[in-house]
Amino acid sequence: MGDWFPGEETLVTLRCLFVDFNSFFASVEQQDEPRLRNRPVGVVPVMSPTTCCIAASDEAKKHGIKTGTPVWEAVDNCPDLMLVEARPARYVDIHHQLMAAIEDCIPHGKPASIDEVPCRLIGRERQRDNAIAIAGRIKQRISDEFDWIKCSIGIAPNQFLAKTASDMGGRNGLTVLEPSDLPHRLHELKLRDFCGIGPSMEQRLRNAGIWTAEQLCGATKEHLRAAWGSIEGERYWMQLRGHEMPERATKRSSIGHSHVLDPSLRSFDGARSVLFKLLAKAAMRMRGDRNGGPFLAGGMAIRIRFVGMEHRFERDLRFAPIDDTPTLLHLLAEALATLKAAGLRGSWHAKRNPPLSVAVTLFDIEPCGRASGELMACRRRDRQMTEALDRINDKYGNNSVFFAAMSQAVKHDAAPMRIPFQAIPERQRDEDVVTKARAAASAEELYLLRERQFKVLAEASHRETQRRGDTPRGKNAPRSGAAGWGAARQQPSEHDTIQRSLF
């Protein structure tokens, strides 16, 4: 241990207790609907065979189903899988209740995401027995309120190791990593078990000669810096040794949204309406950002994927910094006119290759204070209109008033509130009034609706599996996430070459 903490043994102690809720989205669904308990459950963003699971229950994970598993593959691997459409607003409500329960036991820090939060240990709380007692009180407090939602807790010298420890004890587990446990307790892990090591980073480590956790822990600071290609490698070296590193300053560079279209919206008008709604949502977030904002955007990226076609519609626009919704929607409409023209002249066949998924991103954002005021009267009117819409929607609910071009998307409740990885949405601001109305249905009606949706989706997924081939993934099945956003590119066919000049 002396080589691991050279001259610093007395400085490293238990400083962080990390709470990680197990299979959070699926557990909330099982908490609310007892008929889903002890059954494999997959949570999906939309009830469509072309989407993927965004969460899986412990029972589903035993069948190899995880975040990112395509629905057709999940149903093929587990015919008894129950698919449930995500309810972000409900997850946010439960998150706040759980944070309040933890606060009854110990003050917590800023949640790392909707299903995990660090708690700082101070004074006598850093003694092992006291820290374990606090963890026990947290588990008991949560079980008093929720009988199905469980959490794993890790206790360690820093947040990085505490988060790692929370994954070492399994469901509802408790793991303590004291300085005397390091580094040998980490040797049992795989590289991908460590925070911040995904597929690409794992490959970079292997290229640097690091194949095991033991080799990772034994590497020098210089070796890890070379493997990461930046100072981040040195930070990782320090965190492995229990040092608490200051949070890195981050600068927001873009705000955007994407959505897999419901089959009823897979047309030019449907895709256009959803894109308008996504853009209005991104602009609203940009104006209301409390982390360095409000902001102005100097560019917009538009992406549309199509069924049965490798080529996608792409437009990157640049303009003077703006933030008002009418101007942004006008720019989007102009960009989409080229796609409509392609359909009219027959170079894009909307029925043969309908839109599958859409995305819009505002980039080159900068704080409002850096831009000068508006001189043109029409631009001032657009900003005043935007401010009025924001005030109305803040008071009566999101999209209580909206632009007519968004009506089809709003009617179908397309692109509802989603939960980003490292942020907690504000339900009052982000949840649509249409979504709230749907949530008012009784639990029995909701369960019966989900059951009907699941049967239709299971049949469609089974047909998709047969179409792709008789192997578990299908002979020609692309390895990709929702709507193929992460699909590996194949060699272009003659048809694809022709398609590249469509738009």
CA distances from 11 to 6, 131, 163, 258 (A): 11, 18, 20, 46
**Quick check: is 116 catalytic?**
yes
pTM (two decimals): 0.75
Q: Would you state the pLDDT for residue 452? A: 56
How far is 247 from 209, CA to CA, in rounded Å?
A: 29
Return the CATH number of the domain spanning residue range 254-425.
Answer: 3.30.1490.100
**Residue 270 tokens, joined:** 């449907």
How far is 21 from 41, CA to CA, in rounded Å?
A: 16
Residues of the chain with confidence (pLDDT) below 70: 1-12, 249, 290, 292, 370-379, 420-503
Residues of the chain with CATH 3.30.70.270: 1-182+432-503
- Specify the length of the chain in residues: 503
Q: Which position has the token pair 């929702």?
A: 482
Residue type, 400: S
Class of domain 1-182+432-503: alpha beta
How far is 71 from 65, CA to CA, in rounded Å?
A: 9
- List own/partner pairs for 406-410 with CB under 8 A and 24 or more apart: 406/273, 406/276, 406/277, 406/280, 407/273, 408/265, 408/269, 408/270, 408/273, 408/274, 409/265, 409/270, 409/273, 409/274, 409/276, 409/277, 410/277, 410/434
Q: Which is nearest to 164 in space by CA: 139, 191, 200, 138?
A: 191
Q: Which is nearest to 301 in space by CA: 342, 251, 254, 250?
A: 254
DSSP 8-75: -GGG----EEEEEETTHHHHHHHHH-GGGTTS-EEEESSS-TTSB-SEE-HHHHTTT--TT-BHHHHH
First to last CA, the chain: 63
Segment (H or E) for 335: helix 325-344
Q: Would you state the pLDDT for residue 203? A: 96
From the list 33, 59, 116, 244, the catalytic residue is: 116
Q: Three-state DSSP class for 256?
A: strand
Q: Would you state the pLDDT for residue 170? A: 86
Residues of the chain with CATH 3.30.1490.100: 254-425
Please, which residues have CB within 8 angstroms of residue 203's CB and are 6 or more apart in sequence? none
